[in-house]
Structure 1
Amino acid sequence: MATIQITLSDEEKRQVDELFKKLGMTTSGAIKVFLSQSIQNQGLPFTPHVRDHSHQQAIYPVIGKDGQLIIPNDAPEEVKDWVNNG
């Protein structure tokens, strides 16, 4: 039996424990799933990528007189679609 240790900040540990508890597992169990999937896939079980956040902009919706959320015209189409269709 082997032991693997990692170092996290207290806040990161709290966040991952909370997340995995919501998923019905422990952080240790989640790491075991990750490692098992890595072996099965012979690589990472996801595609790593770097997101380019440089083009993001803040969206300032307003509430109309009828209580509807109004999204600005220059908001990305996927945001408008999500607001309109859920």
Structure 2
Amino acid sequence: MTTLNVRVEKKTKREARKALADIGLDMSSAVNIFLKQVIVEQGLPFTPTKKDPKKIRAAWDREAAWALKHGKRYTDTKELFRDLGIE
């Protein structure tokens, strides 16, 4: 093992630590996961973009609203698995 020192804004660190704790991860584990994904992807594990985050979020919201209105709902997992071909 080795130590990695990274400079981040206090607010970023605080908010990230809380978000990670909510899913059962600590900062060290999350950074390790990120670095392992960098190795797997041979680059960033996401696509950096200059797109307006508000427009991206609005598109996600529209897609989610459409799915809620028109998407198929399941009452049991057997039906879902059957439709997914996982029987």
Where does structure 2 lack aligned partners over 5 or more consecutive residues? Answer: 56-60, 70-87
Partner of 1:50: 50
The percentage of aligned residue pairs carrying the same residue is 30
Give the number of the structure whose alpha-carbon radius of gyration is greater.
Answer: 1
Deviation string 1:25-78 (CA, Å, 9 cap, x unpaired) is 001110100000111111111111122369x6xxxxxxxxxxxxxxxxxxxx92
Give the strand-richer structure, 1 or 2: 1
1:78 equivalent in alignment to 2:62: yes
Give the deviation of 1:85 after TM superposition.
3.0
**TM-score with structure 2 length normalisation?**
0.58
Where does structure 1 lack aligned partners over 5 or more consecutive residues? Answer: 57-76
Question: In 2, distance between residues paired with 1:19 and 1:36?
Answer: 20
One-letter code of the match for 2:4?
A: I
Give the helix-richer structure, 1 or 2: 2
Question: In 2, distance between residues paired with 1:34 and 1:84?
Answer: 30
RMSD: 2.9
SS of match in other structure, 2:48: coil
Give the deviation of 1:9 after TM superposition.
2.1
Question: In 2, distance between residues paired with 1:51 and 1:12?
Answer: 21
Question: In 2, distance between residues paired with 1:78 and 1:42?
Answer: 32
